[in-house]
């Protein structure tokens, strides 16, 4: 069972990260931001950075660090908020999101000194790179782990399954994929766009599969991630985490309208009020 203090830390960091997502996205002005997919994955990213992964912001390129690959690159605000809380980037740098000359673009751009391992945005490619990183670690006899955050809509991409089959062929049990299954993608619900059984597909590909009914629950995430990080069963691992699109902001939850868009002052004030009210519950 997950340590209570660690669970409390994850929940504390998740609350702060949600605030960062709203502030960074609002600060981008008319350039907008992918609020919904970032907010659904906050607990996943927080659990990795503050409970599971071996990493050090004081030594961001240390050889034995665990690697995090944000394959669903449009949800980059979840990653940037974690990097800010972990100490890789400053609050001042966070405020430059999508600004001219900023290294915090609308999709992650590789910048290892700031904790950004891989450039991503073209759906499926980040996951394929993560598989390659895990394979390289096996070849070189390194024992770090590779974690990759993948969207449920992203699983429509063919490159996902090419990489997934390759990972099974080479026994990449040092690889853990986490599917942020929030059931909503760019143009509609995942059921309307491509009604497939994701769990069955991953099992058929030969992966070790675990389904979380509440992927926004820190304790469940920590238990699942720890189990898979410690496993050496010869199979790559995938956690299918059922999450809520726009989690934590009442008018965003489950809404297609908030996959990606700008936020005005009234909406910003309402979002901050939701986050403040959550502290008192």
- pLDDT score of 156 more than 90: yes
Task: Give 1's pLDDT tier (boundaries 50, 70, 90).
Answer: confident
pLDDT classification of 232: cutoffs 50, 70, 90? confident
Cα distance between residue 127 and residue 82, in whole Å: 19
Average confidence (pLDDT) over 112-120: 97
What integer is the mean pLDDT of 2-30? 97
**What is the rounded average pLDDT for all residues in the chain?**
96
- φ, ψ for residue 44 (rounded to 5)? -60, -50
Q: Using alpha carbons only, how large is the chain's radius of gyration in Å? A: 17
What is the greatest pairwise CA distance in the chain?
Answer: 53
**Is residue 280 scored above 80 in pLDDT?**
no
Residue-level pLDDT at 27: 97
State the average pLDDT over residues 136-145: 97
pLDDT-derived band of residue 119, with 50, 70 and 90 as boundaries? Answer: very high
What's the pLDDT at 279?
77
pLDDT at 56: 98
Q: Each residue of 39-56: pLDDT tens digit?
A: 999 999 999 999 999 999
| DSSP assignment letter at 75 | G
Domain extents in the chain:
4-280
Beta strands in the chain (DSSP E): 67-70, 146-151, 175-181, 184-185, 188-189, 208-212, 237-242
CA 91 to CA 102: how far, in whole Å? 13
Q: Which residues are 121's β-sheet partners?
A: none
**Quick check: 69 pLDDT over 90?**
yes
CATH topology of domain 4-280: Rossmann fold (3.40.50)
Task: Map tokens 């960074």 to a residue.
Answer: 24
Q: Are 224 and 12 in contact (CB under 8 A)?
A: no
pLDDT at 231: 87
Q: How far is CA 189 from the centre of its chain?
A: 19
Number of H helices, E strands in the chain: 11, 7
pLDDT tens figures, 235-267: 999 999 999 999 999 999 999 999 999 999 999
pLDDT band at 281 (very low <50, low <70, confident <90, very high): low
Give the predicted TM-score (pTM) of the model.
0.97
For the beta carbon of residue 54, count every other beta carbon within 10 angstroms.
13
Among 142, 158, 177, 151, residue whose Cα is nearest residue 63: 142
């Amino acid at each position: 069972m997950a340590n209570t203090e660690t669970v409390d830390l994850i929940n504390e960091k998740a609350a702060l990260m949600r605030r960062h997502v709203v502030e960074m996205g609002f600060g981008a002005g008319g350039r907008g931001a992918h609020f919904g997919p970032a907010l659904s994955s906050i607990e996943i990213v927080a659990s990795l950075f503050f409970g599971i992964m071996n990493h050090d912001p004081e030594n961001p390129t240390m050889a034995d660090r665990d690697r995090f690959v944000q394959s669903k690159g449009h949800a980059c605000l979840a990653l940037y908020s974690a990097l800010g809380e972990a100490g890789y980037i400053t609050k001042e740098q966070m405020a430059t999101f999508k600004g001219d000359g900023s290294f915090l673009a609308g999709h992650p751009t590789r910048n290892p000194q700031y904790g950004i391992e891989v450039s991503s945005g073209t759906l499926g490619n980040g996951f394929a790179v993560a598989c390659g990183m895990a394979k390289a670690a096996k070849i070189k006899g390194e024992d770090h782990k590779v974690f990759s955050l993948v969207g449920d809509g992203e699983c429509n991409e063919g490159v996902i399954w090419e990489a997934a089959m390759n990972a099974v062929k080479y026994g990449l049990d040092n690889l853990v994929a986490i599917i942020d299954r929030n059931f909503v993608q760019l143009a509609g619900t995942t059921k309307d766009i491509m009604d497939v059984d994701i769990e069955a597909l991953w099992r058929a590909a030969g992966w070790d599969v675990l389904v979380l009914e509440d992927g926004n629950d820190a304790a469940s995430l920590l238990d699942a991630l720890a189990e898979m990080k410690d496993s050496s069963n010869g199979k790559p691992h995938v956690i299918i985490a059922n999450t809520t699109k726009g989690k934590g902001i009442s008018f965003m939850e489950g809404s297609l309208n908030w996959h990606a868009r700008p936020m005005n002052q009234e909406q910003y004030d309402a979002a901050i009020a939701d986050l403040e009210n959550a502290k008192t519950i």
